[in-house]
């Protein structure tokens, strides 16, 4: 059986930021805009992102997962630009997206990303004119791609996420539905399922409830962003450990605790009645040279 190749990138934080109207800079947006002007625009570079995406496309993945934070302070024009960028990455049936906390930066804005990007997180069999809903399910090759949203508006200096009771209940039903199917289940989520050290203000609020679902029903691979760092954490599942893999921002220069831009490639196949998943990382390393960073077998 030929391997199915899944690419994963996250947190492009697309720049340059459009010039906001004065009335759009109330509250948290004003802080975010000042932060962008002071330093973030130097970290998140469009040329770095362009080179990384070109390298990813040259690998000819069968599908691409994007785990959120396309925009910065959720200005309406940012969503328009993000749609154009998504189209440059791939067609909606070739790219699966979940939103991040920056995509729901302030109250009253969450309607923009479902409207602008709905084609990229519409589950199989859902009518084109239907509202986006989470969790969603897409079957691609041997994969069951499950997308959930942790994107919620938060107070200034907070970047937490939450699935919520309804979404967790729907996720439980979906995992039960998939149990008898012979598919490699990939859960896409923006926030890490376990809180990283020192990241209390950026945690997933209902991580304990999610970890309980994973322990009871299991998936085969979890992909996330948010922390802007390489990460591999092993979680308890019903039949063994499950890898949760994070990735740096796809547009980042090396800065402080943040790792330079990178993306993941997973080669997935079933052989001798068991799944095999090989993991490669390509990105920028010392001197901002783009190339292979890691090659390992996960499963």
Nearest of 46, 32, 6 to residue 261 by alpha carbon: 46
User: Do the beta carbons of residue 42 and residue 253 sit within 8 Å?
Assistant: yes
272 pLDDT more than 90: no
CATH architecture of 4-297: 4-Layer Sandwich (3.60)
| Strand duo 63-66 + 290-297: pairing | unpaired
The structure's pTM equals: 0.96
Q: What residue ranges do the domains of the chain occupy?
A: 4-297
**Looking at residues 201-214, what average pLDDT do you find?**
97
pLDDT at residue 71 in the model: 97
User: Do the beta carbons of residue 13 and residue 249 sit within 8 Å?
Assistant: yes
How far lies 53's CA from each of 47, 97, 117, 149, in Å?
10, 15, 19, 23
CA distance 293 to 246: 14
Greater confidence, 145 or 271? Answer: 145
CA-angle at 102, arms to 205 and 83, nearest 5° = 130
% residues pLDDT > 90 (the chain): 82
pLDDT at residue 72 in the model: 96
Nearest of 72, 70, 69, 68 to residue 35 by alpha carbon: 72
pLDDT tens figures, 22-70 = 888 878 999 999 999 999 999 999 999 999 999 999 999 999 999 999 9
Considering the chain, what is the average pLDDT of its residues? 93
CA distance 273 to 260: 38
């Amino acid at each position: 059986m030929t391997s199915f190749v899944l690419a994963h990138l996250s947190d492009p934080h697309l720049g340059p930021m459009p010039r906001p109207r004065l009335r759009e800079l109330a509250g948290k947006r004003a802080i975010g805009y000042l932060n962008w002007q002071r330093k973030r625009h130097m970290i998140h570079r469009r040329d770095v992102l362009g080179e990384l995406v070109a390298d990813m496309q040259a690998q000819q993945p069968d599908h691409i997962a994007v785990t959120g934070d396309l925009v910065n302070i959720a200005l309406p024009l940012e969503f328009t630009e993000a749609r154009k960028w998504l189209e440059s990455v791939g067609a909606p049936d070739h790219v699966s997206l979940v939103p991040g906390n920056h995509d729901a930066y302030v109250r009253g804005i969450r309607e923009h990303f479902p409207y602008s990007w709905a084609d990229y997180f519409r589950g199989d069999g859902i009518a084109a004119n239907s509202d986006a809903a989470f969790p969603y399910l897409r079957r691609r090759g041997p994969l069951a791609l499950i997308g959930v949203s942790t994107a919620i508006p938060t107070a200034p200096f907070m970047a937490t996420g939450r699935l919520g009771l309804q979404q967790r209940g729907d996720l439980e039903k979906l995992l039960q539905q998939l149990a008898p199917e012979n598919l490699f289940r990939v859960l896409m989520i923006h926030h890490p399922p376990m809180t990283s050290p020192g990241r209390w203000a950026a945690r997933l609020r209902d991580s304990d409830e999610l970890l309980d679902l994973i322990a009871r029903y299991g998936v085969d691979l979890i992909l996330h962003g948010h922390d802007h760092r390489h990460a591999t954490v092993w979680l308890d599942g019903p039949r063994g450990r499950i890898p949760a893999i994070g990735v740096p921002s796809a547009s980042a220069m090396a800065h402080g605790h943040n790792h330079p831009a990178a993306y993941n490639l997973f080669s997935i196949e079933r052989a001798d009645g068991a799944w095999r998943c090989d993991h490669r990382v390509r990105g920028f390393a010392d001197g901002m040279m783009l190339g292979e960073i890691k090659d390992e077998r996960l499963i």
